[in-house]
Amino acid sequence: MQGKGLITIVAIVLGLICLNELLPTWYAGKIEKQATAIAGDNPEKYQKEIERLSKDTLNLGFTELYYSKAKDKEMKLGLDLKGGINVLLEINQRDLVNDLTNYSTNPILIEALNRTDEVQKNSTKSYIDNFFVEFDAVNKAKGANLKLADPEIFGNTNLSEIKFNTTDEQVKSIVKKRIDLSVGTAFEVIRTRIDKLGAIQPNVQRVPGTARISVEMPGMKDIDKVKKMLQTSAKLQFWEVQQVPEVLPYFQTLTSTVSAKGDSMGVKKNVNFMNLLQLDKLRTNGVASVKLSDTAAVNKIINSKIGQSLRPANIKYTQFMWGYKPESTDPNSLVLYAIRGNINQKAPVDGAVETANISYDELSRVVVDMQMDSKGAKDWKTLTEKNVGKPVAVTLDNRVYTAPNVVGAIPNGRTQISGNFSQEEAKELVDVLGAGKLPAGAKVVQATQVGPSLGQESIDAGVISFAIAFLIIIAYIIFYYGGAGVYAVIAMIINLFYIFGIMDSGDFTLTLPGIAGIVLSMAMAVDTNVIIYERTKEELFAGKGILEAYKDGFKHALNAIIDGHLTMILTAIVLFFFGTGPIKGFALTLLIGAVMTLFTSILLSRVMIFNRLNKGKGLSVWTSPTKNLFRNTWIDFIGKRKYSYIISAILTVISLGSIFVNGFKYGIDFTGGRNYVVRFDKDVNAEDVEHNLVKMFTTEDGKNSSVEAKTFGNDKQLKISTDYLIDDESLKADQTIEQKLYEGLKPNLPSNLTLEDFKSADKDHAGIISSEKVGPTVADDIQTHGILAVVAALAGIFIYILFRFRKWQFSLGAVAALFHDAIIILGAYSLLHKVMPFNMEINQDFIAAILTVLGYSINDTVIIFDRIREYLREKKALTLSGLFDDAISSTLGRTFNTTFTTLLVILAIFIFGGDNLRGFMFALLIGIGFGAYSSIFIASAIAYDFLRTGKEEEVHGKSSSNKEVLATK
């Protein structure tokens, strides 16, 4: 065999690289196992053992291993395998635009921004692109003919490169670059903050084409602390403060208005606004002291359209801000401050902090000392000179930390923030200020938290399902193909080694969907070997010698293998570019697996087999029970196609009927909302829990939010979903929902379980073991990308089949079969989502499953079409129907073996792979089964029907029917 030396060298070099990459993972795991064996469940003792064992080194000659370095280089595990926190931050691009326009109040600009905010809720385009569209629309509608380079828009000192004659297109380019730079700055600030959190192997990435930043922190538990640290923009500002006498008339007006129009202001008419303010309890420079439970009502009243319209001139631009936390003298209330604003709401002092550190005041209370930059120091001096004897508020992200009276002018930019801090809170504030400020506000639009106990369970389930699937494949392929099967297993083991090595060397993250992709890659490797060995068997039955049979077997199988793998690679690429989150992880491993399968099963396996055969040794390609299986099997598939059309039509009608009548259970990926998986210490009834929670998640206007509780895995676990406060992406909303969830579940929880313990369960107590939040804008993006992925995959497959087989009839048959498979799976999910004991939501994982089925089904179809194409060239049939039947019948062995082994593998993962994968695997079970059926009875039948109705030309051989002709063009 030519090139075997090069293939061997490549295999050895690739193997050494993978070994070098995987050794740190092995060594870190070895040290941690030793520490666990000694320390048990004692975390302090475990840490001491790790520190002791970290001093050891392992010298292997070509590399030296020690724990800290090995830990840094070990394979990254996703949250679903290790536990931890993942958040998707979105930088507020309206803030960025406001900053670039120097907070202009031009009415056309303001209206364009307001319209962009609305459009953005249902758009996958970037904010700035939508803004330019809306600005043009408003500009045209008003007949203003306002240029983007106008001083009231972007032609100001903040964008000095824009001149009066700069064109709109040039301005757009400049603004886009500046916004991209601002998001890049935010990315660096976020990364610095994460370093201060002490996260191990954090993964911080910008989401291309958006103002979003993805942050993954394995092992982290306190999601509230993480959200707070990441969302804080560190926008430190200093404002003048208005006192009670200035706002009291307004409050009195609101009190009488609420009693008359409360319903229109979002509260009940019997609410006494003045009583909510508790002015008699006020002990600070604020304007009200409000109970924590009443802050939401006060916000609604003040911020309502009616409340805004009633403002007198002296507080037209006043910003009402809450204190950072309750005062120590009244822990159940928050102080409301009246901040003197202006038309563009620009703070008198808005300077970056150069240094910040923890200190103590004269009463030994924790405070934060800081030094402003030169501009901030200058503005601070002006503000303090102007307000001697008056209060000035120090705010961070629109929260008032302190509002002391100014004793005298402060000329040097040094100041102090007090706020009833604990030592830990002061440290967090110093860390945030020290990392620098974000160029704009940030909000968490998507968040996932997986507890460490669930992560370990996922690892165990993944390893068990993986091992069982692997053993099934090994046993079956050796049973069916004998000695040749042993070589297939060797190639498959090397393939796995390469996949894990490449994942590690590329610093990719391994997830549960990723493991599923690897298992499917194994099934693809089996398929490759099945195709080769089935063709080799045909050559042996034709009377050829063993060496010649293997040569021809590899040669004739090559086209079908390459076609099948290229369609799978195409599907994986589409998944990777259009998918998000778990879909990307699945696509990545599938892509790597497909490429490595081509190398190991075609090239490396061939070198090993021919190395044996060239030495004169034999190599069986069957065993006694399997030698004659499917040999001489011939079925009139084309003659029976009408029955398959009827069966498929019935199933399609049932599926479509259920889809229109029953609909689907959409996951929060598509709808937005929050999911919580809660573990209990006893069996619970999902319906009773759901009934109790509906009462808890009622909005203030009396409307019920959507709440669903469903058994998840076993009767001691529930998956609880709700759209309560779906449009509120703040940390406070998350905490409110967790509090209500805790209160609603209390009858089913241990009596001594605290809220903090409930929010982060482990193996020793009940509570939330995983949570997920998806904002409505992100849900819309995920849904759009999912649909695009399916459409792009179908279009790509159609074009590829057309290119490879040169006939649109083959492309039509292939795509029709894929539509058939997709509708059957959708119908099954519509029919069964209410009765199945596992998750059957339409979400990202489901899209991944659909695309996997499409890729696998087209692989089946390509094998059959390839044989039809071969027979067309060799003129092996008297009629077109006979030619199709011969081609399909001759590939039955391959179709059965591949489908059977793949279904066994998927079934193993379905049973043993854990609750998170069951819905995904169920879709694959249905899809792979129907994929094999549709390749034969739909794709081939449709291709046949459209081929024979084409322009009549001479057919191959003598036709048995004058009506049945083949269009060869």
Q: Match 């392992």 to its residue by tokens.
A: 58
Contact at 8 Å (CB) between 151 and 104?
no
Per-position DSSP letters for 302-371, written without gaps between them: HHSHHHHHT--GGGTT-EEEEESS--TT-TTEEEEEEE---TT---SB---EEEEEEEE-TT--EEEEEE
What is the Cα–Cα distance from 938 to 929, expressed in whole angstroms? Answer: 13
The strand ranges marked E within 655-811 are 673-679, 707-712, 714-722, 767-774
Tell me: pLDDT of 711 over 80.
no
pLDDT digits (tens, 9 = 90+) for 12-69: 999 888 888 888 888 888 888 888 888 877 767 877 888 888 877 877 776 778 887 8
Does position 258 have pLDDT exceeding 50, yes or no?
yes
Residue type, 167: T
User: To the nearest 10°, the Cα dihedral for 905, 911, 917, 918?
Assistant: 110
Taken in order 757, 762, 763, 768, the sign of the CA dihedral is positive
Q: Which residue, among 487, 467, 468, has the nearest Cα to 477 in the 3D structure?
A: 487
User: What does 173-189 look like in DSSP terms, one character per residue?
Assistant: HHHHHHHHHHHHHHHHH
Q: Single out the residue of 297, 296, 276 nearest to residue 287, CA to CA.
A: 276
Give CA–CA dist 341/576, Å, rounded: 47
Listing DSSP states for 909-925 in one string gives HHHHS-HHHHHHHHHHH
DSSP string, 832-860: HTTT-SS---BSHHHHHHHHHHHHHHHHH
How far CA 855 is from CA of 599, 861, 865, 887, in Å, comes to: 20, 10, 15, 21
Asked if 597 and 903 count as a contact pair (C-beta separation under 8 A), the reply is no
Residue reference for tokens 């051989």? 957
Percent of the chain with pLDDT over 90: 5
Average pLDDT, the chain: 80
Mean pLDDT, rounded, for 709-726: 78
pLDDT tens-digit series, residues 927-968: 888 888 888 899 889 988 888 765 433 344 333 333 343 333
Task: Provide the pLDDT for residue 337.
Answer: 93
Q: Residue 670: what residue type?
A: F
Confidence class of residue 657 from pLDDT cuts 50, 70 and 90? very high
Q: Is pLDDT at 434 greater than 70 in this prediction?
A: no
What is the pLDDT, as a whole number, of residue 104? 83
Q: Among 239-253, 486-500, 707-721, which is the least confidently predicted range?
A: 707-721
Q: What is the pLDDT of residues 517-539, one digit of tens each?
A: 777 787 778 888 888 888 898 88
Answer whether 233's CB lies under 8 Å from 442's CB: yes
Q: What is the mean pLDDT of residues 568-594?
A: 78
With a CB cutoff of 8 Å and minimum separation 6, the contacts of 351 are 236, 372, 373, 375, 376, 377, 379, 380, 413
CB of 266 closer than 8 Å to CB of 299: no
Map 393-448 to HEC letters: EEEECCEEEECCEECCCCCCCEEEEECCCCHHHHHHHHHHHHHCCCCCCEEEEEEE
Highest mean pLDDT among 125-134, 233-242, 850-859, 871-880: 125-134
Nearest to 574 by CA among 558, 557, 594: 594
Q: Which residues contact 894 (CB under 8 A, 6 or more apart)?
A: 527, 530, 531, 534, 863
The residue type at 563: D
Could you tell me if 710 and 700 are in contact, meaning their C-beta atoms sit under 8 angstroms apart?
Answer: no
Distance separating alpha carbons of residues 76 and 457, to the nearest angstrom = 17
pLDDT per position as a tens digit, 98-113: 888 888 888 898 889 9
Amino acid in the structure at residue 380: W
